[in-house]
């Protein structure tokens, strides 16, 4: 009997939320997985520990801004697949560091693509594109044909990466795909993003470790899915006969306020809202204590107000669809944060 050869994959940004879930998925599919991060991002590797995959990965130091680190890793292994999940991914931070954000988030993937073209043109490449590329929209539901209108250095960088990925596919016939992923959350989400900030800090209030939280624009609307399901879509894109781009979303939209209200329900903290604009607050019903305040430091110079995606194409071709709804996702995140905080 001929043994099927084990596939080798590179996951850049493996220590992030999506990287960790994707590594877990690839290991379960018997891939040899090379987990690549900047040395400084790897910190404690807490996500890999939580997922129980820390000793199943091969770790390599890697930096998207350093083309030599890319060349040496691509020459060292014969990758079947590369998933580029590394980026400066926090939209707000990109306004403060637009140049380094562009260097990593826009030029980083080009460095990989050009290295692949020169040394490994058969390797399949996945680029993590983002719904932030749509920016200011005047359409109700966004899909693969909707025009982009980026509203941050992060979004402009992702758009360059998206276009250059398509260009390498068309110009050199390489197998390159972009997944246009809408917001996706989980207990492994970084604490600077709004969902995890809310679940973690509300849990701290619940446990008496914090008095209140401060947020920015609570009327922003997002299409929030569950990250572990979204990484499955990435893998499916690279298993097709033809490379292409796909929107991954839930086709549902909620505002930040809805996320807060549901998190409070899930924690049994009854709240009510008072005031308007920057003076709006949420107070705890029985004690009348303020639990949420607005702080304009969390506003963005240009905001993305509304994003809702259609996953029709992904459903038709990849047979992918979202399964966990937002209420379940919130509950999952709250339970995980309560558990972690009770340990400390």
Instruction: Write out the residues near ligand F7E by the rule CB under 6 A.
Output: 89, 91-92, 130-132, 182-183, 192-195, 197, 215-218, 220, 222, 256, 298, 300, 303-304
Task: Find the shortest distance in angstroms from Cβ 226 to ligand F7E.
Answer: 13
Q: Where are the alpha helices (DSSP H) in 134-222?
A: 153-172, 194-206
Q: Give the DSSP H or E segment for 102.
A: helix 98-105
Distance CA 229, CA 184 (A): 9
Cβ neighbours of residue 273 under 8 Å, at least 6 residues apart?
Answer: 257, 280, 281, 282
Closest CA to 259 of 183, 184, 194: 194
Nearer to ligand F7E, 84 or 131 (CB): 131
Task: Find the shortest distance in angstroms from Cβ 214 to ligand F7E.
Answer: 7
φ, ψ for residue 314, nearest 5 deg: -60, -35
Task: Find the shortest distance in angstroms from Cβ 154 to ligand F7E.
Answer: 7
Nearer to ligand F7E, 8 or 202 (CB): 202
Task: Find the shortest distance in angstroms from Cβ 50 to ligand F7E.
Answer: 19
User: 245 to each of 145, 164, 166, 242, 336, how far by Cα in Å?
Assistant: 10, 13, 8, 10, 33
Nearer to ligand F7E, 119 or 219 (CB): 219
Beta bridge partners of 83: 11, 126
Nearer to ligand F7E, 60 or 280 (CB): 280
Task: Find the shortest distance in angstroms from Cβ 246 to ligand F7E.
Answer: 14
Cβ neighbours of residue 72 under 8 Å, at least 6 residues apart?
Answer: none
Nearer to ligand F7E, 195 or 199 (CB): 195
Task: Find the shortest distance in angstroms from Cβ 77 to ligand F7E.
Answer: 27
Nearer to ligand F7E, 243 or 309 (CB): 309
């Amino acid at each position: 009997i001929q043994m099927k050869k084990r596939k080798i994959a590179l996951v850049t940004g493996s220590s992030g939320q999506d990287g960790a879930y994707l590594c877990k998925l690839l290991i379960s599919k018997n891939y040899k997985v090379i987990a690549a991060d900047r040395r400084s991002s790897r910190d404690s590797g807490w996500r890999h520990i939580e997922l129980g995959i820390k000793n199943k990965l091969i770790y390599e130091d890697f930096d998207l801004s350093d083309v030599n680190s890319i060349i040496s890793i691509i020459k060292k292994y014969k990758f079947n697949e590369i998933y580029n999940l590394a980026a400066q991914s926090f939209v707000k931070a990109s306004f403060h560091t637009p140049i380094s954000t562009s260097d990593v988030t826009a030029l980083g993937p080009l460095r990989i693509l050009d290295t692949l073209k020169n040394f490994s043109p058969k390797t399949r490449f996945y680029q993590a594109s983002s719904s932030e590329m749509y920016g200011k929209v005047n359409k109700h539901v966004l899909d693969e044909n909707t025009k982009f209108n980026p509203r941050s250095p992060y979004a402009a960088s992702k758009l360059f990466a998206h276009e250059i990925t398509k260009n390498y596919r068309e110009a050199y016939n390489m197998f390159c795909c972009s997944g246009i992923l809408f917001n996706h959350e989980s207990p492994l989400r970084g604490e600077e993003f709004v969902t995890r900030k809310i679940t973690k800090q509300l849990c701290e209030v619940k446990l008496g470790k914090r008095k209140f939280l401060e947020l920015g624009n609570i009327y922003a609307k997002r299409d929030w899915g569950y990250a572990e399901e979204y990484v499955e879509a990435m893998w499916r894109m690279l298993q097709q006969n033809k490379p292409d781009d796909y929107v991954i979303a839930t086709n549902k939209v909620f505002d930040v306020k809805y996320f807060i209200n549901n998190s409070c329900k899930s924690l049994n903290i009854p709240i009510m809202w008072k005031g308007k604009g920057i003076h709006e607050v949420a107070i705890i019903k029985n004690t009348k204590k303020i639990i949420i305040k607005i702080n304009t430091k969390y506003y963005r110079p240009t905001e993305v107000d509304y994003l809702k995606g259609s996953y029709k194409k992904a459903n038709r071709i990849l047979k992918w669809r979202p399964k966990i709804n937002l209420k379940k996702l919130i509950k999952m995140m709250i339970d995980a944060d309560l558990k972690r905080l009770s340990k400390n």
